[in-house]
A and B are shown apart, each in its own frame.
Chain A
């Protein structure tokens, strides 16, 4: 039952929003009513659906790249303490760079295909994965590695059989956060141009019902992506719920 607690809350919020717009006579260009957004979703269902597919592809591939980049960098930084000390402050500082302002550069560097969008989403999403994976690697008790050495384990076996599985629950936490960011990352990349994604429906800012419809789809895809990651987590690390 608790799983569906958000449903009545959303219904109440939508009803209040609808009532507020209609009773106050607020024009569409200032704030569209939920019914107007629903109407736009229906009327423009065909272009919205193809744009959503483009954005979803950017989100998925960008998130995948972020996972590879995030986990890969955490593995290297965990092994090399001197590199971690040198690079980690720069990684933190990189998070204060507004990705939207440097997005056009990626189009110049990588051209007008899918690649700049994937790169921007990955850049926007990888840090929570790196930070959580590093914490996860640190969570493995040091005496376990020492014990494993007396149990015939090579450094490679210790990594694959102990350190990586130990870090998995934390890595999934990072991926969940990154999945929630992926939609915004994709939108930033599309604002820089050349995509055919949902942001194309947000460009006419006076057509607020259509902007609302595109935002609704973006939010729905974000929720679905986070849900998919949670489902995968449940399958991949069932033990983390048992402790």
Chain B
């Protein structure tokens, strides 16, 4: 289920979002092609995580439209998107492989069939031998890999990664950034990575969007290959 999934396009037009009187996002225009990897960088509270919740249909925008694979309904967006939150949120009572295969079981597969689909990916994700291990016995980096695998195995075209490495130490984080870039290149899904780290954004994704402090607006949208760290930092300070 995981590998053949193709990415889906995202089209965001004139998006505003408010929490009561508080404007969180304003005038967001964003087009993401199918299979593209995009990093969203911005200060805390600029609405990055809210934007992910809006894209995947957990929230409805106050104004404007968001369409995923051409469908702008919340149900349609939810059908196409899988969210990986900052904390791995693995279920402590399930083994690593049962955590990874959770979306397959939710979708109606038997537990045995779901495990059969997940098992070959454990080798590929550097988790071989830890299939039956419960999360409390895994390192932080391994837990994040299992959480990423769980997101991937949902078989959705859009992966929304909300600061997935924020809680890791610097060495593990760097190792996982390289690993994630390879995984995204291999998968051809559309991926949106929210991060505070400019280096992580430049290393992991092909394209970067920089957002202003609240209310979040897009102040820079460029290919990462054409930018350096200073240019992104200048946009963040703008």
Which A residues fall within an 8 A CB radius of B? 141, 143-144, 146-154, 157, 161-162, 165-166, 237, 239-240, 242-243
Q: Are A162 and B91 in contact (CB under 8 A)?
A: yes
Nearest Cβ distance between residue A142 and chain B, in whole angstroms? 10
B 90-117 to A, binary, CB cutoff 8 A, 1 in contact else 0: 0111000000001101110000000000
Give the CA-CA distance A71 to B46 in the complex, in Å. Answer: 41
Selected from B87, B92, B106, B134, the residue in CB contact (under 8 A) with A151 is B106
Q: Are A150 and B137 in contact (CB under 8 A)?
A: no
Q: Are B58 and A149 in contact (CB under 8 A)?
A: yes
Residues of A near B53 (CB, < 8 A) are 146
Give the CA-CA distance A239 to B84 in the complex, in Å. Answer: 23
Residues of B near A240 (CB, < 8 A) are 92
Nearest Cβ distance between residue B148 and chain A, in whole angstroms? 12
Residues of B56-105 whose CB lies within 8 A of A: 56, 58, 78, 81-85, 87, 89, 91-93, 102-103, 105
B145 at the interface (CB under 8 A from A): no
Nearest Cβ distance between residue B96 and chain A, in whole angstroms? 13
Give the CA-CA distance A193 to B125 in the complex, in Å. Answer: 67
Q: Are B136 and A146 in contact (CB under 8 A)?
A: no
B156 at the interface (CB under 8 A from A): yes
Which B residues fall within an 8 A CB radius of A? 53, 56, 58, 78, 81-85, 87, 89, 91-93, 102-103, 105-107, 134, 136-137, 150-151, 154, 156, 160
Of chain B, the residue at the smallest CB distance from A141 is: B89
Q: Are B89 and A147 in contact (CB under 8 A)?
A: yes
Nearest Cβ distance between residue B28 and chain A, in whole angstroms? 20
Selected from A149, A154, A237, the residue in CB contact (under 8 A) with B93 is A237
Give the CA-CA distance A237 to B134 in the complex, in Å. Answer: 12
Q: Are A150 and B56 in contact (CB under 8 A)?
A: yes
Counting residue pairs across A and B whose Cβ atoms lie within 8 Å, the total is 63
Q: Are A239 and B106 in contact (CB under 8 A)?
A: no
Decide yes or no: A161 and B134 within 8 Å by CB, A150-B58, A151-B150, A152-B107 being known contacts: no
Give the CA-CA distance A166 to B160 in the complex, in Å. Answer: 25
The 7 A-B pairs at the shortest CB distance, nearest first, are namely: A151-B103, A152-B106, A152-B107, A242-B136, A150-B83, A153-B106, A239-B92
Nearest Cβ distance between residue B223 and chain A, in whole angstroms? 28
Q: Are B84 and A147 in contact (CB under 8 A)?
A: yes
Selected from A143, A151, A239, the residue in CB contact (under 8 A) with B82 is A151
Decide yes or no: A146 and B83 within 8 Å by CB, A151-B103, A152-B103, A161-B106 being known contacts: yes
Residues of B near A153 (CB, < 8 A) are 103, 106
Residues of A near B78 (CB, < 8 A) are 149-150
Selected from B85, B92, B103, the residue in CB contact (under 8 A) with A143 is B85
Decide yes or no: A146 and B102 within 8 Å by CB, A161-B91, A162-B91, A243-B136 being known contacts: no
Q: Are B58 and A242 in contact (CB under 8 A)?
A: no
Q: Are A141 and B150 in contact (CB under 8 A)?
A: no
Decide yes or no: A150 and B81 within 8 Å by CB, A141-B89, A161-B102 being known contacts: yes
Nearest Cβ distance between residue A233 and chain B, in whole angstroms? 13
Of chain B, the residue at the smallest CB distance from A168 is: B93
Residue of A143, A154, A240, A242 ringed by the most chain B CB atoms within 10 A: A143
Instruction: Give me 15 A-to-B residue pairs in the complex whose CB atoms sit less than 8 angstroms apart, sorted by A's number.
Output: A144-B89, A150-B78, A152-B107, A152-B154, A157-B106, A161-B102, A161-B105, A162-B91, A165-B93, A166-B91, A237-B93, A240-B92, A242-B134, A242-B136, A243-B92
Residues of A near B83 (CB, < 8 A) are 146-147, 150
Of chain A, the residue at the smallest CB distance from B150 is: A151
Residues of A near B134 (CB, < 8 A) are 239, 242
Give the CA-CA distance A166 to B82 in the complex, in Å. Answer: 22
Nearest Cβ distance between residue B215 and chain A, in whole angstroms? 22
Decide yes or no: A150 and B156 within 8 Å by CB, A161-B102, A239-B136, A242-B134 being known contacts: yes
Selected from A146, A151, A154, A165, the residue in CB contact (under 8 A) with B58 is A146
